[in-house]
């Protein structure tokens, strides 16, 4: 997987009025202070090298996020450590499930890391267009709908409240769900 990049900068330089940093792909590397200063601003160009104490420039922060990482803005904040943990979690998630994982993580008050990714994979049900869609596509199976003869299904279908069935399952069937970007993501309760 590629494209999980963040703009990493140096806080000390920032407080001194210089924006020093660059985009780093966190799937490939965890940038050090030296990386950030080398890529972001060759030392000596605007800093006086004899007055530059590297030990005072160790504190790095996340200044911006790109791609799928923007779905985890709240979890990451300005923390490089949190960003690295999120990336470690995302490499365990199938790419088309990352938005679902973001919705799941947003409802759980826990750090977004590999353990949460495994918890998500164990509990995830699917993504649906609506509660009605969840009722038809998923809950109908649970109540044995598919085992009914076609003619019975056709006769009954107009009278069934698929949205009500979906809502009933969400309320009392052991599921949790979150709406994100017009999609309803559903998972089993822990």
Binding of residue 41 to Zn ion (CB under 5 A): no
The DSSP result for the chain, as a single string, is: ----EEEEEEHHHHHTT---EEEEETTT----HHHHHHHHS-TTSSS-GGG--GGGG--EEEEEE-GGGGGGHHHHTT-HHHHHHHHHHHTTS-GGGHHHHHHHHHHS-S--SHHHHHHHHHHEEEEESSHHHHIIIIIHHHTTGGGS-HHHHHHHGGG--HHHHHHHHHHHSSEEEEEETTEEEEEE--
Restricted to residues 72-101, the positions that interact with Zn ion (CB under 5 A) are none
Comparing every residue's Cβ against Zn ion, the nearest one is: 10
Q: Judged by CB under 5 A, which of 4, 6, 8, 10 binds Zn ion? A: 10
Nearer to Zn ion, 80 or 98 (CB): 80
Q: Minimum distance from CB of 62 to Zn ion (Å)? A: 15
Q: Judged by CB under 5 A, which of 5, 12, 62, 97 binds Zn ion? A: 12
Q: Which stretch binds Zn ion (CB under 5 A): 57-65, 72-80, 90-98, 122-130?
A: 57-65
Q: Judged by CB under 5 A, which of 9, 24, 57, 135 binds Zn ion? A: 57
Nearer to Zn ion, 50 or 171 (CB): 50
Distance between CA atoms of residues 81 and 176, nearest Å: 29
Nearer to Zn ion, 10 or 69 (CB): 10
Q: Judged by CB under 5 A, which of 4, 6, 8, 13 binds Zn ion? A: 13
Q: Which stretch binds Zn ion (CB under 5 A): 6-14, 101-109, 111-119, 156-164?
A: 6-14
Residue 75 CA, distance from chain mean position: 9
**Contacting positions for Zn ion (CB under 5 A):** 10, 12-13, 57
């Amino acid at each position: 997987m590629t494209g999980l990049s963040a703009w990493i900068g140096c806080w000390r330089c920032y407080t001194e009025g210089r924006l020093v940093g660059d985009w780093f792909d966190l799937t490939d590397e965890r940038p050090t202070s030296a990386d950030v200063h080398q890529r972001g601003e060759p030392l000596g160009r605007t800093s006086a090298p004899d007055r530059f104490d590297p030990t005072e420039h160790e504190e790095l922060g996340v200044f911006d996020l790109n791609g799928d990482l923007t779905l985890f803005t709240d979890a990451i904040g300005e923390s490089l450590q949190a960003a690295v943990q999120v990336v470690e979690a995302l490499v365990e998630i199938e790419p088309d499930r990352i938005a679902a994982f973001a919705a799941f993580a947003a409802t759980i008050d826990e750090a977004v890391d590999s353990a949460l990714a495994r918890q998500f994979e164990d509990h995830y049900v699917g993504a649906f267009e609506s509660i009605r869609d969840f009722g038809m596509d998923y809950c109908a199976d649970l109540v044995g709908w598919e085992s009914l003869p076609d003619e019975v299904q056709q006769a009954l279908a107009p009278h069934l409240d698929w949205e009500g069935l979906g809502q009933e399952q969400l309320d009392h069937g052991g599921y949790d769900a979150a709406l994100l970007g017009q999609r309803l993501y559903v998972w089993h309760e822990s």
